[in-house]
Amino acid sequence: MKFRYAKYGSTLRPVIPIKLKLRDKEIGYEVLVDSGADLCIFDAEIGRAIGIDIEKGKKNEVFGIGGKASLYFLHKVKIEVGGWSYDIEAGFMPDVAGRVMPWGVVGQRRFFDIFIVKFDLLKEEVELKQRDFK
């Protein structure tokens, strides 16, 4: 699957569309494909929209590039990428990215272990290949 980079002002970002699902609810959401992120983290409001009681998840903290700690809560959900659904565990964080960026983040655990990811800035695309789990 190939996705075009998204343009935000003069900046290109590998942002792709996904769907988040829980039972019979789903919502479309954009996520930054981030090889530096340890796990998938989505905005708490998105989780609430599909019926998650955010604060009932396992509480953890993550540190950003500036060294600031932020709390998140782990929950099991499904994500759909390019029409394919995957069960993952993701963090839900109030005001993810301080509302500076309008998207969530997909990272190493439960995204990069599902896909082989190729970034091509010159072609302005990110390519995902599903891993063969034999």
For position 97, what pLDDT does the model report?
61
Longest dimension (CA), the chain: 43
Domain ranges of the chain: 2-130
Q: Across all residues in the chain, what is the average pLDDT?
A: 92
For position 64, what pLDDT does the model report?
77
Instruction: Compute the average pLDDT of residues 35-45.
Output: 94
Pairing of strands 115-120, 69-81: unpaired
Q: What is the CATH number of domain 2-130?
A: 2.40.70.10
Please state the φ and ψ torsions of residue 36, each to the nearest 5 degrees.
Answer: -90, -5
Is pLDDT of 65 > 80?
no
* 3-class secondary-structure state, position 107: coil
Instruction: Compute the average pLDDT of residues 53-65.
Output: 92
Is pLDDT of 105 > 80?
yes
For position 52, what pLDDT does the model report?
98
Is pLDDT of 98 > 90?
no
For position 95, what pLDDT does the model report?
77
